[in-house]
Amino acid sequence: MTLNDSIVSFKDVGKVYRIGEISVNALRNVSLKINTGEFVVILGPSGSGKTTMLNLIGGIDSATSGEIIVADNRVDRLNEKELTAYRRRNIGFIFQFFNLIPTLTAAENVDLALELSDERKSTTSLDILEQVGLKERADHFPNQLSGGEQQRVAIARALAKHAPVMLCDEPTGELDFETGIKILTLLKQLNRTKKQTFILVTHNAVIGNIADRVIKLRSGQIIEDNLNNSIIEPEKLKW
């Protein structure tokens, strides 16, 4: 697959959550394509369907209707065993909450991801931590790291899989402004050097300025889908 090929495709995708007798339409007949190597920011208020869209791409939730294709996989047709293999090969997750294992060092957290990766024979946790500027902190436990350092370990863990699609759910939400800018700078750098597709969900509209493309959701529907003709570097952001 080359740059500008479609790596994510939604066709008339709907997602309905049922809570007792109440039905909540999280997504309503959403269609879109995301190209390989794009850095896409998905914006919208709480409840707009942003995280639901990310979860469907990641195969950690299932669509109620429609067709989802990611990296040539018909995700909506995969069974649980196939979904596990799909996530392992194709998806890297970076969350608002770092989800590191507290009893493992930074290197051991990354090693755990490498064990599940096809990259384990060609790279080491130290190599990956060096990519995110944390090689010297490899032997530190999460509680010995700052919030920004913990997020960088989480990014290193996601990188260990060398997944073609990186899903980022509010990755700066728990960080102060300066640390958040450093994390966004790192994500953009990885997008450019590794040609991975980054899909970043946020409620912070300012972050959309660093993206190749901005998709806005409201009430489960796409209300805007625009290419960004004036991309700025993360260090120039203000909010």
User: What is the C-alpha to C-alpha distance for residues 213 and 31, in angstroms, rounded to an integer?
Assistant: 15
pLDDT of residue 2: 46
User: What is the C-alpha to C-alpha distance for residues 198 and 92, in angstroms, rounded to an integer?
Assistant: 9
Q: How many Cα atoms sit within 13 Å of 174 on the Cβ side? A: 15
State the pLDDT confidence band at 159, using cuts at 50, 70 and 90: confident
Nearest to 96 by CA among 198, 225, 203, 210: 203
Say which CATH superfamily domain 6-236 falls into: P-loop containing nucleotide triphosphate hydrolases (3.40.50.300)
**Average pLDDT taken over every residue of the chain:** 92
Q: Position of tokens 């067709």?
A: 67
Residue type, position 7, single letter: I
pLDDT per position as a tens digit, 211-233: 999 999 999 999 999 999 999 99
Q: Position of tokens 């990519």?
A: 131
Q: Which segments within 37-142 are labelled E, that is strand?
A: 39-43, 65-70, 73-74, 91-95
- pTM (global) more than 0.85: yes
Beta carbons of 52 and 27 less than 8 angstroms apart: yes
Dig out the tokens for 224 from the structure: 């805007």
Is residue 115's pLDDT more than 80? yes
pLDDT per position as a tens digit, 84-99: 999 989 999 998 888 8
Domain layout of the chain by residue ranges: 6-236
State the pLDDT confidence band at 239, using cuts at 50, 70 and 90: confident
What is the mean pLDDT of the segment spanning 168-196? Answer: 91
